[in-house]
Amino acid sequence: MGKIAFVFPGQASQYPGMGRELAEAYPAARQVFDAADHALGFSISRMCFEGSEEELKQTANTQPAILTCSVAVLRVLAEKGIQPDFVAGHSLGEYSALVAAGALDFTDAVRLVRKRGTYMQEAVPAGEGAMAAILGLSPAVVADVCKRAAENEVCSPANLNSPEQTVISGSAAAVKRAVEIASQMGAKRAVILPVSAPFHCALMMPAQERLAKDLKEIKFSPLRVPLVTNVDAETITSGDEARDALVRQVSLPVRWEESVRHLIEEDVNTFVEVGPGRVLAGLLRQIERSVHTLNVEDEKSLKTTMEKIGQN
């Protein structure tokens, strides 16, 4: 039998009402939301369960909300006896993965991602940065499009998500030019994303420097479960490597497709998306159709995953 990887979603997976069902049904999930409210000094649980889409879309809220929701799901899976052989997370999801691996204390993680979201928001004035999704062109072609579009501004691949999908990031004007060039070159779709900052590009260096100081002060333990990092798409097990990867990932691209292929080489054949939405499950199908993809975000998906893993 193959191995199980837990993968944790990043920004854009949030939706109003996320986590509420499991928090009402499982004390282990409720405790995570309570701990987050206490650590942050405001009710992130209210925001997840009853908040508006607008409120949840603000980066400084999105990041702790998704992390809290993912860790609440994780605690329920642990109670049910489902444990991963490997973990990975998409951008922000790497923090959830490190909590799952026992490297990072949850309350430290939730405070860190609140700051991370704030720093990213503040790194570039509103309207000056942008991100866009390019579908149907190879990552190499998209990299070339970015070079052509840059014109002395920042424009670079930010999320290497699948053979079909690359997200780019940079100065608003340069990203707009890249969308036009990509469309001319036959992209299936090239669309500006509704995000509040240009993540994973050189414009994020001010945020990276601020976050590095905070990360230096946090205790990172050795990982109980190996993690595949965004920045290098390689397995790590030491706390120092984990901290270093979190610093570098702020301004460097998320190498998601490579990370997934690395996990498959490690004999992973079942991927469980732990937390809100099914974004990663969708990407997994684009990368490798032969693997089992499951997700857990509510009672129904929990039941399905329990049944499928029980049969494996």
Per-residue pLDDT tens for 97-129? 999 999 999 999 999 999 999 999 999 998 999
Per-residue pLDDT tens for 203-231? 999 999 999 999 999 999 999 999 999 99
CATH number of the domain residue 137 falls in: 3.30.70.250
Provide CB contacts within 8 A for 225, sequence distance 6+: 83, 84, 85, 86, 87, 100, 101, 102
Q: Are residues 234 and 154 in the same domain?
A: no
The token pair at 48 is: 């997840």
Residue at a domain's end among 169, 195, 221: 195
CATH number of the domain residue 30 falls in: 3.40.366.10
Angle at 286 (CA atoms; ends 280, 289), nearest 5 degrees: 100
**Integer Cα distance of 222 and 2 in angstroms:** 24
Q: Kindly write down the DSSP assignment for every residue of 16-36, as one continuous string.
A: TTTTHHHHHH-HHHHHHHHHH
Q: Are residues 134 and 107 in the same domain?
A: no
- pTM for this model (two decimals): 0.97
Provide CB contacts within 8 A for 185, sequence distance 6+: 137, 141, 145
For residue 104, report the phi and psi dihedrals to the nearest 5 degrees: -130, 130
Q: Are residues 138 and 272 in the same domain?
A: no
Q: Are residues 271 and 299 in the same domain?
A: yes
For residue 107, report the phi and psi dihedrals to the nearest 5 degrees: -65, -35
Q: Are residues 208 and 278 in the same domain?
A: yes
Could you tell me the pLDDT band of residue 310, with boundaries at 50, 70 and 90? confident
Q: Are residues 181 and 154 in the same domain?
A: yes
Is residue 194 pLDDT above 90, yes or no?
Answer: no
Number of domains within the chain: 2
**Integer Cα distance of 63 and 118 in angstroms:** 9
The percentage of the chain sitting over the pLDDT mark of 70, rounded to a whole number, equals 99
Q: Are residues 102 and 237 in the same domain?
A: yes
What angle do helix axes 59-79 and 299-311 make, rounded to 10 degrees? 50
Q: Are residues 277 and 208 in the same domain?
A: yes
Residue of 31, 72, 109 whose CA lies nearest to 298: 72
Residue at a domain's end among 195, 211, 228: 195
**Integer Cα distance of 185 and 145 in angstroms:** 9
The residues annotated as belonging to the active site are 91, 200
Per-residue pLDDT tens for 69-108? 999 999 999 999 999 999 999 999 999 999 999 999 999 9
Domain span holding position 300: 3-123+203-311
Angle at 57 (CA atoms; ends 11, 212), nearest 5 degrees: 55
The pLDDT of residue 311: 58
Residue of 15, 13, 73, 68 whose CA lies nearest to 43: 68
Q: Are residues 170 and 207 in the same domain?
A: no
Q: How far out from the chain centre does Cα 42 lie? A: 23
Q: Are residues 101 and 233 in the same domain?
A: yes
Residue at a domain's end among 179, 195, 211: 195
Q: Are residues 233 and 209 in the same domain?
A: yes
Q: Kindly write down the DSSP assignment for every residue of the chain, as one continuous string.
A: --EEEEEE--TT---TTTTHHHHHH-HHHHHHHHHHHHHHTS-HHHHHHH--HHHHHSHHHHHHHHHHHHHHHHHHHHHTT---SEEEESTTHHHHHHHHTTSS-HHHHHHHHHHHHHHHHHHS-TTSEEEEEEESS-HHHHHHHHHHHHTTS-EEEEEE-SSSEEEEEEEHHHHHHHHHHHHHTT-SEEEE---SS--SSGGGHHHHHHHHHHHHTS--PPPSS-EE-TTT--EE--HHHHHHHHHHTTTS-B-HHHHHHHHHHTTEEEEEEESSSSHHHHHHHHH-TTSEEEEESSHHHHHHHHHHHHH-
Mean pLDDT, range 256-277, rounded to an integer: 98
Q: Which of 69-73, 125-129, 170-174, 275-279 has the lowest mean pLDDT?
A: 125-129
Residue with tokens 């405001």: 42
Q: Are residues 304 and 218 in the same domain?
A: yes
